[in-house]
Structure 1
Amino acid sequence: MVSLGVLAKRLFGSANDRKLKTYKARVEAINAFEPAISALSDEALRGKTVEFRARLAEGTPLNDLLPEAFAVVREAAKRTLGQRHYDTQLIGGMVLHDGMIAEMKTGEGKTLVATLATYLNALPAKGVHVVTVNDYLAKRDAEWMAQVYGFLGMTTGVILHGLDDNERREAYAADITYATNNELGFDYLRDNMKYQVGAMVQRKHHFAIVDEVDSILVDEARTPLIISGPLDDKSELYIGVDDVIPLIEADDYELDEKQRTVTLTEEGNEKIENILRERGILSSGSLYDIENITIVHHVQNALKAHKLFQKDKDYIVKGDKVVIIDEFTGRMMEGRRYSDGLHQALEAKEHVQIQPENQTLASITFQNYFRMYDKLAGMTGTALTEADEFLDIYNLEVIEVPTNRPIARIDEDDEVYRSAREKYDAIVLEVEDCVKRGQPVLVGTVSIEKSETLSEVLKKKKIKHNVLNARYHEQEAHIIAQAGVPGAITIATNMAGRGTDIQLGGNLDMRIADETAGIEDEAERKRKVDEIRADIATKKEAALAAGGLYIIGTERHESRRIDNQLRGRSGRQGDPGRSKFFLSLDDDLMRIFGTDRMDGVLQKLGLKEGEAIIHPWINRALEKAQEKVEARNFDIRKNLLKYDDVMNDQRRVIFDQRVELMEADDVRETVDEMRHQVIDALVSRHIPEKVYAEQWDAKGLKEEAATILGLDLPIEEWAAEEGIADEEIRERLKSEADRAMAAKVAQSGPELMRQVEKAILLQTLDHHWREHLMMLDYLRQAVGLRGYAQRDPLNEYKSEAFELFENLLTRLREDVTRQLMNAQFVSEAPPVEEMPLPRMEAHHADPLTGEDEFTGGDVATLSRPVRNDPGVAVDPKNPATWGKTARNAPCPCGSGKKFKHCHGTLA
């Protein structure tokens, strides 16, 4: 019996079908403009941008401009890139403009699709951000598509790691800015640590198009983006604790690979405690006494480093550094570091130099960063499996855009073997067959270790191949671009090389760029290009005849989406293709999420050595296991967001307040109000309402007034006066404090005082905000245990975080008042804009595993003077000549103080 839902879908079509129907009607309207737009001269076509902006200024809605604007972009792409948008690409552009996610298969030209919505939304001149997954794609796409935007009179900027503030500000000021999610989030946080509005680099958050939206808003959104600064060196403690871990045995700890946790057993705790005492690391009490909490933290990290994290899978050792491997792409994450001391524990384990720990200076999740945009859109080849999450978290609907040509790829059933050895043998046989037939093969693996294991097997068989993984990511775009050549065998970790098309026969543009570099003679260059074009055409025919690109998966990933991404590399633009996954019971997914009885069942079924079980039921069972993992990961992300939402409300208040303070010419009113609030609190604390005068603590009030206000007042005499009330004492205190402050203004001059007030206010606010972040982090760890007492950890976190925030504001008022009232002016204070930012690192740390996913962690070069020419002598009066000054080194200004206490001050 057919359900009502299925019947309704047959009659009316799905929601996706109905959306596509309305878009197809608009495609006709765009196509109707084509003859008139094609007839325009280059100058007239460029003039359309000015015309559109004038119409917008007159009140024409942006949607009304869409058909003609899209037609203009299509014509500009034809004239500059030699590419004309397909009708399906126009649909993709409309989906993006409507603030939704366009799911478009690999090879459908998403980079070109983005130009449509980008141009239209850049017309109001508020800035459009196009977000990519790495610097290579940001630079490539910006240079490529800038031809279209520049032709139409729009400016394009690109944000790359290593740019200074002026270059970033210029890039953000462009009509269209290409950047990675990490750079955008980092710039937002760093902007909110500046001391002048003019020093900030970003504009408002108007519209963003996120490329590979599933990777950025789902995979990377599990982890907050963190900016941190270094703390004291604890290398000896890391090394001391690390030496202890190899002395424990398997019975001393419990390892849960599924949850990625490792904990000491009772016996393990006792053994570690005794060893630490013998070595003098634990000087008194037991391991879990409050004074030893730091040592417990070090022991836990050392245990994780040895028992959870594997060399060449989770990280590699390169020179004297531990370099993280991204679990999703298999790329080396140069500069990224695990947070909370875990990276130092790994450095101790691998006996390399231990870098100092960091303190959090600012933090935000990608969910909360991207939800700041007035309008958000995304595109990817795989989003439908996460459609519920996109709708729930970002209010983004997923629209499946049809392919320009029907997909001809054949997706075969999985082959399941009992052991990894049998699986690899089967893969090698399949690859050998492809080599004989000249069929290109892309083999997908889940880690560097496994890609190199397979590579060794192929080398023994003398099968020529390319390995694309974190060790060689510099060449990945070039390797992946030529993976469609007949007989090419490419081994890739997960989705390495994502964003680069695998074209059958090879990538024409890349070959031309590589092989014609240095040829200056135009005729010679043309001859070479024609030769390359003919060679690629011949090879494409051979690859097509062999069956197109063959995708071999060596394991199922935790997420169906990653598997679909791998499959999607084949069958672009209607090309033939084939995909198959080879699995074994030793695979992580099968081992961790399968059942222990499966091997026994396969033996009972009579599965012999080298034989595989192949059935659609196996595929469905695996997909069910993957769905469970996806649901669990969604819960992790949702839970992280619930906690970050609490912090986000506070972050917005602090950041908005900072901008208001920076924009204000004079913060006197704010400072006066703070001082009066402090006095109100002081009086209320020592002279409570409805309490007899005999019970007043006049002596305590006098002492606190001396400490905070710097005033020696006869408060005890005031309190002894007949009939005096608390209100009168309050007003006298305020009057005396105002008079003292007025005298300071007269002494120093109003101009200098304005600068000092703003500087002290901003620096004190930053100092307390950093302490507050640390307190929230500790609170987050502590409230989890309250679930055992039948109390909701989230509600506990909300109420206590609010209380901590109120305490922050109280301490802020007191500290600002104390500093200003006790300040002595003996020389001119430096202008606010000259105050340097602290030395900073950017991290993207997973709260569960500690994995750090931020590119180029050390960004100190962006926050302090850098000497471009090492031959330039240090000039004490010119910070530009100081170079990278160590924090404990003497300050180059000649003051005699350490850099961290002078021009390198943190607050």
Structure 2
Amino acid sequence: MLGALAKAMFGSSNERYVKKLDKTVARINAYEPQLEAFSDDELKAQTVKFREQLAAGASLDDILPEAFATVREASKRVFGMRHFDVQMIGGIVLHRGEIAEMRTGEGKTLVATTATYLNALEGKGVHVVTVNDYLAKRDAEWMGQLHRFLGLTVGVIVPNLNEYERREAYNADITYATNNELGFDYLRDNMKHERSQMTQRPFNFAIVDEVDSILIDEARTPLIISGPTDDKSDLYISVDAVIKNLPEELYEADEKTKNITLTEDGVEWAERQLEAAGLLEGSNLYDVENTQVVHHLDQALKANVMFKRDIDYVVKDDKVVIIDEFTGRMMDGRRWSNGLHQAVEAKEGVKIEPENQTMASITFQNYFRMYPKLSGMTGTAATEAPEFYDIYKMNVVTIPTNVPVQRIDDEDEFYKNTHDKFGAIAKLIRERQEIGQPVLVGTVSIEKSELLSEFLNRENVKHAVLNARFHEQEAHIVAQAGSPGAVTVATNMAGRGTDIQLGGNVEFRIEDELRDMPEGAERDAAIAKIKAEVAEAKAAVLASGGLCVIGTERHESRRIDNQLRGRSGRQGDPGMSKFYLCLEDDLLRIFGPDTLFSRMMNSNLADGEAIGSKWLSKAIETAQKKVEARNYDIRKQVVEYDDVMNDQRKVIYEQRSDIMDAETVDDVVVDMRRDTVNTIVGDACPPGSYPEQWDVEALVNRAYEVLGLEVPLAEWMEEDGVDPEVIEERISALADARMAERMADQQEVWRTVEKSILLERLDHYWKEHLATLDALRQVVFLRAYAQKTPINEYKQEAFGLFEKMLETIREDVTRILSTAEFRFQQQPEEMSLPELPSFLTGHIDPLTGELDASMGSQVPGAEAMLSALGTAAPLAAHAVEGGDPYADLGLSRNALCPCGSGNKYKHCHGAVA
């Protein structure tokens, strides 16, 4: 009661915060008359002036008012658009590293130019992140005009750029890119072997457009770079043979979630069977050494018990083909992940295709938290404000609209079933179309869109169906969705980034209709005609009530519903929105078939009859809040598990970075050798033991195997007072002497050899470690049955595995450098460092469930390194006629040539004639 009274008197905390920013906006406005008098050249000179002020010690906040005013004046000259005061407030919020929640149609793309320009003045780079490639290209071209006018450079990252083009784009003052491209480039950079090959600069500042989609919706699944792994066909077949003999009473299956677990007796039975098959290390199934076996056992269980032939998949041409559970269609080329597809192939006795192994992965949460300053903008973020603060430490600030909203939001209507509901929607749409009112219909899936389309065809309603798979074409259709009588059916993602303008969009019509018409009087006349037609159409649409938005059911997140509603009523336009629901909707099924709500609906509603009440709407909102909380818990769990890996990822990537930057890694190699000697001696001569208890034979064998040394341990032990420390010192001295002898005549080349082997072994074991962690995560939840917290168990096991991995790397690097035979080339300067192997980049779209996978660069694998170092002759360099046009760019000789040939620079334009 008191809180409501205080809010009525003083406004909400958000309103008070926004009001404080009015003083800064007043200072920005004060510069306007002065800047209006500037010539274009004087306005462009502002950028040089601001950079000089920053170099002299001024802060970005000091120059903000004048810099924002400069952007506003430039926008008036370049676009003919003047930033509203509320857009300036949005820009200040972005600059402060917060989220600006602005209604659809308030010009978020233009808002970003202020904060982008200001932060780009430091020269450290600003990233503007979009949800798809079309928007990245569009915004870079569109807003890039303003930034280039003011003297800044603009780059854009899209698929299929070569390394040189990517590096150039990242070195620009402002870079537009999608979240996927940024994340994959970060992972790829940390798989390279020379600093000069890396494309990204250190992180500085990012503005995330549609921040709720990128940092919340897409954050459910990590980005993954994967490559082919070793053939494990025998293991799949062996485990499958064990599972085929498993009695039914030894497992519990949950068909709803397709989960299956062994009972206690089942675990004991599996241990004995796996032990007999020679697949178990020790006798305990859940020892950390058996993590991979448990993972394969789990997948074989699912394949044999939960996945049914001709229901979940078919066997066609000796291949297992997945059947889509929603459409019943065969999905050629799609494969289940985590070894499940291979387990089904083993079950059916067809050829087992090798699975792809994770080579690098990161969640969007951990990627974007690496930016020292991060901000975002969207039309809907307030409902997720706690999550934004908990995960990213970003506050959500709701920016008032430039003109008060005129849209009318009708109460929801409830029907008994989908048939009645869609019939009512189709009739309403026909009525609206007859009076010339445009209609936008939002559905939650492609299947629902197609079903509604059938109802609309029965009513003879002309309409367009969109499903967000082809962003560019759909942006053109959505842009005209405000034309008189237009009916557009769209799934959740369709049309994002494109405003629906009443009467139609002039720019898009000009582009679509006059693309091939040359400049001249005829084109000018055609443009004038289009503008007149759009103005006339807009007047007709306004008279009909503006855009009508219809929701065919409530989404599990209120935010998605608000996004749909927000399409109507932009910039003070009239409009209306209404949601239609029924008992068969996904969300309403949360109430269950036997609840009071559903019984009341079934008993009191006749076919085709609808009811609406605030109580029912409130009940739906409560259900949505519960689902939102559950989804937040899922995302939080993803972060908790990835945080464990992230700490380890930072250590590995920092080590890689240090190795690449170092002139020589002698000290690292020596430390590794000493640690390895310490481990070998410690294993054979445990602390506190007597000499007669030492495993002399094992120590001698290990010293020869790892260090290539014949250790006279028997002689040393005959001496009085010899102890493990003395033995360790003597072995280290022998190993150092051997290494000095090996590298005596090849000092310079040996430095490259050491660096190459160190990086290659680090990458190899990190890849194996990721696979083990992935398998561990799949099964660690079983620890809950022992009253243990899975995440704590995961942290503990992951730490132990990481320590073991580092120990293995130390020993393997020492073994290769100490024992491998190298035959060096006559021209060591042409010796190539190992490059990235072929790989797949993948990220599952959480809204469609589709794997967004693409092939990476086709280059030789790192395993070819030793032969390249030892026996291969350097590739023949060829001279390029006309000299080297890229000589002044300072390119690495191992980088791809900028000409686009696909060859290395040193084998193309950088070749010596």
Distance in 1, Cα, partners of 2:327 & 2:227: 23
- The match for 1:510 is 508
SS of residue in 2 equivalent to 1:588: coil
Using the TM superposition, give the Cα deviation of residue 381 of structure 1 relative to its aligned residue in structure 2, in angstroms.
0.3
Over residues 1-20 of structure 1, what are the superposed CA-to-partner deviations in whole Å (9 max), with x where a residue is unaligned?
Answer: x23x2233234322111211
For the pair 1:124 / 2:126, whether they are aligned, the reply is no
Give yes or no for the alignment of 1:768 onto 2:765: yes
| Counterpart code for 1:225 | L
- 1:67 aligns with 65
Correspondence for 1:784: 781
1:684 corresponding residue in structure 2 = 682
Is contact 2:323-2:331 (8 Å) kept? no
Matched, 1:171 2:169: yes
Q: Tell me the residue number matched to 1:897.
A: none
Q: Distance in 1 between matches of 2:609 and 2:739?
A: 88
- In structure 2, C-alpha distance between the alignment counterparts of 1:372 and 1:555, rounded to whole Å: 38
The within-5 A match list for 1:360-371 is 360-371=358-369
Residue number in structure 1 paired with 2:4:
6
Matched to 2:652, the amino acid is: I
Supply the distance in 2 between the matched residues of 1:538 and 1:487 (Cα, whole angstroms). Answer: 14
Q: 1:334-345, aligned counterparts within 5 Å?
A: 339-341=337-339
8 Å CA contact 2:106–2:402 kept in 1: the answer is yes
Decide whether the 8 Å contact of 1:843 with 1:853 is kept in 2.
no
* Residue 655 of structure 1: aligned partner: 653
Where 1:178 maps in the other structure, the secondary structure is: strand
| 1:756 aligns to 2:734 (yes or no) | no
* 1:224–1:844 Cα contact (<8 Å) kept: yes
Quote the offset at 1:599 in angstroms: 6.9
Superposition TM-score, scaled by structure 1 size? 0.86
Judged with a 3 Å threshold, the aligned counterparts in structure 2 of structure 1 residues 301 and 877 are, in CA distance, closer, same or farther, namely farther
1:836 — aligned with what? 835
> 1:130 is matched by which residue type in structure 2?
V
Whether 2:705 is the aligned partner of 1:703: answer: no
Cα shift readout 1:381-412 (whole Å, capped 9, x = no counterpart): 00000000001110000000001111111111
User: Identity rate of aligned residues, in percent?
Assistant: 55
Question: Measured at CA, do residues 532 and 235 of structure 1 come closer, stay the same or move farther in structure 2, by a change above 3 Å?
Answer: farther
SS of 1:408's equivalent in the other structure is: coil
Once the two structures are TM-superposed, the CA of residue 754 in structure 1 deviates from its matched residue by: 0.2
CA contact (8 A) 1:484 1:504 kept: yes
Instruction: Pick one of 794, 798, 801 that aligns with 1:801.
Output: 798
Distance 2:660 2:352 in 1: 38
Matched-pair contact (CA < 8 Å) for 1:99–1:396: yes
Question: Quick check: 1:818 aligned with 2:815?
Answer: yes
Q: Is the 8 A contact 1:186 1:227 kept in 2?
A: yes
1:608 counterpart letter in structure 2: A
Letter matched to residue 432 of structure 1 = R
Unaligned runs of 5+ in 1: 274-281, 323-336, 866-874, 882-902
Choose from 630, 642, 645 the match for 1:644.
642
State the shift of 1:772 in Å: 1.0
**Residues 863 and 17 of structure 1: is their aligned pair in 2 closer, same or farther, counting only changes over 3 Å?**
farther
Q: 1:94 to 1:880 in 2, by over 3 A?
A: farther
Q: Counterparts of 1:110-149 in structure 2 under 5 Å?
A: 110-149=108-147
In 2 relative to 1, CA 97–190 (structure 1 residues): closer, same or farther, beyond 3 Å? same
- The residue that corresponds to 2:296 in the other structure is 294
> Is this contact kept in 2: 1:377–1:396, CA < 8 A?
yes
Contact preservation (8 Å) 1:30, 1:70: yes
Kept in 1, the 8 Å contact 2:415–2:421? The answer is: yes
Match of 2:456 in 1: 458
2:664, 2:99 → 1: CA distance?
45
Gap change, CA 1:232 and 1:743, over 3 Å in 2: closer
Question: Counterpart of 2:788 in structure 1: which amino acid?
Answer: R
Deviation at 1:686, TM superposition (A): 1.6
Aligned residue identity for 2:571? Q
2:584 matches 1:582: no
Give the alignment partner of residue 432 of structure 1, picking from 421, 424, 430: 430
Root-mean-square deviation over aligned CA pairs: 3.6
Superposition map of 1:448-527 within 5 A: 448-470=446-468, 473=471, 475-527=473-525
Write the distance in 1 (CA, Å) between the matches of 2:352 and 2:329.
13
Letter in 1 for 2:501: Q
Aligned length: 834
Are the counterparts in 1 of residues 312 and 324 from structure 2 also a CA contact under 8 Å? no
Specify whether residues 850 and 414 from structure 1 end up closer, same or farther in structure 2 by C-alpha distance, changes over 3 A only: closer
Paired residues of 1:761 and 1:816 also in contact (CA < 8 A): yes
Q: 1:531-542 counterparts in 2 under 5 A?
A: 531-542=529-540
Structure 2 vs 1, CA of residues 187 and 862 (structure 1 numbering), >3 Å: closer, same or farther?
Answer: farther
Distance 1:642 1:101 in 2: 23
Counterpart amino acid of 1:786? R
- Describe the shift of the 1:347–1:710 C-alpha distance in structure 2 as closer, same or farther (beyond 3 A): closer
- Counterpart CA distance in 2 for 1:192 and 1:469 is 36
Secondary structure of the structure 2 residue equivalent to 1:582: strand
Letter in 2 for 1:182: N
Which residue of structure 2 lines up, in the alignment, with residue 202 of structure 1? Answer: 200
Q: SS of 2:457's equivalent?
A: helix
Structure 1 position 314, deviation (Å): 6.5
Counterpart of 2:610 in structure 1: which amino acid? A
Superposed displacement of residue 74, structure 1:
0.7
After superposition, the C-alpha distances for 1:292-341 in whole angstroms (9 at most, x for unaligned) are 9636515525846987899678689698444xxxxxxxxxxxxxx76324
Name the CA distance, whole Å, in 2 between partners of 1:830 and 1:298.
51
Q: Distance in 2 between the 1:94 and 1:614 partners?
A: 42
Letter in 2 for 1:174: A
User: Does 2:180 correspond to 1:182?
Assistant: yes
TM-superposition CA deviations, 1:750-789 (whole Å, max 9, x none): 1110000000000001111111111111222232111111
Does 2:15 align with 1:21?
no
User: What are the superposed Cα offsets for residues 422-455 of structure 1, whole Å, 9 maximum, x if unpaired?
Assistant: 0111011101101111111111111111111111
Alignment of 1:604-753 (within 5 A): 606-747=604-745, 749-753=746-750
SS across alignment from 1:421: helix
Distance 1:783 1:298, change over 3 A: closer
How big is the shift at 1:725?
Answer: 2.7
Structure 1 residue 616 displacement after superposition:
1.1
Pick the aligned partner of 2:223 from 212, 222, 225: 225
Structure 2 unmatched runs, 5+? 271-276, 314-321, 863-873, 881-906, 908-913
How many angstroms apart in 2 are the aligned matches of 1:538 and 1:616? 39
Write the distance in 2 (CA, Å) between the matches of 1:879 and 1:861. Answer: 22
State which drifts further: 86-95 or 8-17.
Answer: 8-17
Task: Classify 1:345/1:547 alpha carbon distance in 2 versus 1 (closer, same or farther; 3 Å).
Answer: farther
CA contact (8 A) 1:320 1:353 kept: no
3-state secondary structure, aligned to 1:857: strand
Residue 549 of structure 1 and its aligned partner are, at CA, apart by 0.8
Matched-pair contact (CA < 8 Å) for 2:312–2:323: no
Counterpart residue type for residue 778 of structure 1: A
- The correspondence for 1:81, drawn from 76, 79, 82, is 79
Corresponding residue SS for 1:578 = strand
User: Do the aligned residues in 2 keep the contact of 1:182 with 1:854 (CA within 8 Å)?
Assistant: no
AA matched with 1:300: K
**Residue aligned with 2:143, SS:** helix
Matched AA of 2:822: F
1:416 to 405, 414, 417: 414
What does residue 888 of structure 1 align with? none
Measured after TM superposition, the shift of residue 726 of structure 1 is 2.4
Deviations 1:778-830 (A, max 9, x none): 22223211111111111111111111111111111100000000121223378
Cα distance change of structure 1 residues 457 and 878 upon mapping to structure 2, 3 Å threshold: farther
Task: Select 2:89's aligned residue among 78, 88, 91.
Answer: 91
Which residue of structure 1 aligns with residue 868 of structure 2?
A: none
8 Å CA contact 2:155–2:175 kept in 1: the answer is yes
